Amino acid sequence: MNWQLNEFLKSALAEDLGRGDITSEVLIPENLKAKAVFLFKEEGVVCGLPQVQALFRLLAADEFQSIREEGQLVPAGTAVAKISGSARCLLAGERVALNLLQHLSGIATRTRRLAALLTPYKAKLTDTRKTTPLLRSLEKYAVRVGGGKNHRFGLDDAVLIKDNHLTLVDVKTAVARAREVIPHTMKIEVETENAREVLDALEAGADIIMLDNMPPGQMAQMVELIAGRAIVEASGGITAQTIVEVAQTGVDYISVGSLTHSVKAIDISLDFQ
């Protein structure tokens, strides 16, 4: 088990259990065994089964068996996994397991639906850093399961020169300074909001130009202006209703923060048998 996941799951269990599951300790005999199934109550993409299995391993469950594959789209009413072991153990992990499975499946499901809209186009769907604190690696994992791509994981793995940087230093100076320091294998991206900034980023030699909060018509003009001299990313308030129009502009990537920051959880239950 990945040690970071292990520590995260221990913390999540500690948060929920506190000094112990008082209700179960009062009502459930210590030696009582039970079986249960995880049931999707609405259509969705399955995501989080390995993490849930790891959770119940920490609680010493007897057996966890996946019935459906990670990343599989399943209809409402589908049992995706079953578990057996101490009834107290299953009840102790129930809420944390469901929170994880519902949240990650929600991200994977939304990602799958948006990525499907891009199938006829060259644009690839990516996430952002707009993630729940301390859940970034899991949420970005769910994006991959759903068929999306990961943008940078943190401030240390890519250069992205944003508007706040550009209030302190001009584009050409910023790109030049980055070129002097970062490895040649690392790309430099510049956020732009208008044609002047796009031209400045091109002249500075940016590898990636982000078109931020531009209407699709303007994006199409900027793609034509860039003419393949840099990778083009579209970003800013893009929804299921607008993503196809954005893809039609010819951009290479479309980053969508709502994949992770405001996703709806999938309705899943743990039903004891």
Residues tagged active-site: 95, 130, 162, 191, 212
Which tokens belong to 229?
């001299």
> Is 38 in a helix, a strand, or coil?
strand
Region class of 211: left (phi > 0), else alpha (psi between -120 and 50), else beta: beta
**β-strands 253-255, 268-272: how paired?**
unpaired
CA distance 6 to 129: 23
CA distance 97 to 132: 17
Do 199 and 227 contact (CB within 8 A), yes or no?
A: no
Q: How many CB atoms lie within 10 A of CB 273?
A: 8
